[in-house]
Amino acid sequence: MKSGKVPNGVLENIILKDIVNRRSEVFIGPGVGEDCSAVDLGGDICVLSSDPITGSTKDIGRLTVHINLNDLASSGAEPIGLMVTILAPDGASEKELAEIMNQINDTAKLTNVDILGGHTEVTTAVNKFVVMSTAIGKVKKERIVSTAGAQAGDSIIITKYAGLEGTAIIVSEKVNELVNVLSDEEIKEALSYFDELSVIPEGKISVDFGVNSMHDVTEGGILGAVWEVAEASGKGAQINYDKIPVSGVTQKISSHYSIDYLRLISSGSMIICCKNGAELSRLLDEASIPNAVIGTITEKKDRIIIKDGQSLIIDEPGSDELYKVI
């Protein structure tokens, strides 16, 4: 298998196949495209999500907070806190560990969540720092949103830009290689994308609007996220290549490394499916959240992107383009 998330076929046939939810409290269980589980404890629904940070080394503290809280935001939940596990390689310094914890604490404060506990150890099982977190949030049952809720005729909206997180990581990790590719201003712009990785604001607006599905764009990029929403919902999708917003910096990096920015990790972007997409787009504009209506959910299960007048099949996500560079 290649680096990155395991293919969805493997996920279904090995990981998910024999999982049985026996407890009546389980409100949402595991599934392809579902980043959160939910447990009904008799009041608010408790929402949980867990993810590791493995593709970056310099900003893993900041990323672990945003990436896990984004999953909660995509379900409509209010984030409460994080359980954090840090695995440090043998020989790691206390200074490196302190830098990661400073990032975690600063980002937790910024997003108004608490660090609830976790585990920290030095181990020869890893050759670089690996940070894993489980995020915990709450939501009223009637307000919870599932990836699997997209309906035929829904508009498909993307917030911010394709390849947002991947661009920031690549420039951070490969800045010495890119000094002759990007200007100083473009490097500064790319690194500023680390400050745009939260989807909590658009999640709040969308759940108040009454959307059918939300999904944050992580490994597999925009095309992977669209495929996962359609797969989880048992629907199809048709999107327009020319409608997908992307920055000039991301385009330059993608050209330099011969990667597809539509399949590049893009935390900070959210896929939202709803009726009356134009109205939600207007509300996002009013909140100064960049967005675009890029397509439609269809009853027919084909997943298609229209590019240069051709209808191209969107395949299920494979290894993220980031791993071709990092």
- Name the residue ranges covered by the structural domains of the chain: 8-143, 147-324
User: Would you state the structure tokens that stand for residue 205, as one six-digit string?
Assistant: 């607006």
For the residues of 25-39, what is the DSSP string, one character each? TEEE--BTTB--EEE
**Tens-place pLDDT, residues 126-136:** 999 999 999 99
Strands 236-240, 291-298: pairing kind: antiparallel
**Tens-place pLDDT, residues 14-28:** 777 777 777 877 777
The CATH number of 8-143, from 3.30.1330.10, 3.30.390.50, 3.40.50.300, 3.40.50.9100, is 3.30.1330.10
**Tens-place pLDDT, residues 152-189:** 999 999 999 999 999 999 999 999 999 999 999 999 99
User: Would you state the structure tokens that stand for residue 142, as one six-digit string?
Assistant: 């009637």
Mean pLDDT of the chain: 91
Q: How far apart are CA 143 and CA 178, in angstroms?
A: 45
Report how far apart, in Å, the C-alpha atoms of 287 and of each of 85, 86, 163, 205, 282 are: 34, 35, 22, 9, 9
**Tens-place pLDDT, residues 214-249:** 999 988 999 999 999 999 999 999 999 999 999 999
Q: Band the pLDDT of 40: cuts 50, 70, 90.
A: confident
The answer to whether 155 touches 273, Cβ cutoff 8 Å, is yes
The fold adopted by the segment(s) 147-324 is: Phosphoribosyl-aminoimidazole Synthetase; Chain A, domain 2 (3.90.650)
Please list the helix, strand and coil fractions of the chain in percent, rounded to the nearest 5, in that order: 40, 25, 35
The answer to whether 270 touches 74, Cβ cutoff 8 Å, is yes
Please say if the pLDDT value at position 1 is more than 90.
no
User: Would you state the structure tokens that stand for residue 74, as one six-digit string?
Assistant: 């995509």
The answer to whether 111 touches 66, Cβ cutoff 8 Å, is yes
Q: How far apart are CA 162 and CA 167, in angstroms?
A: 9
Give me the half-sphere count of Cα atoms (radius 13 Å) on the Cβ side of residue 278.
0
User: Strand, helix or coil at 129?
Assistant: coil
Q: Looking at residue 8, what is its pLDDT?
A: 67
Confidence (pTM):
0.84
Strands 236-240, 303-307: pairing kind: parallel
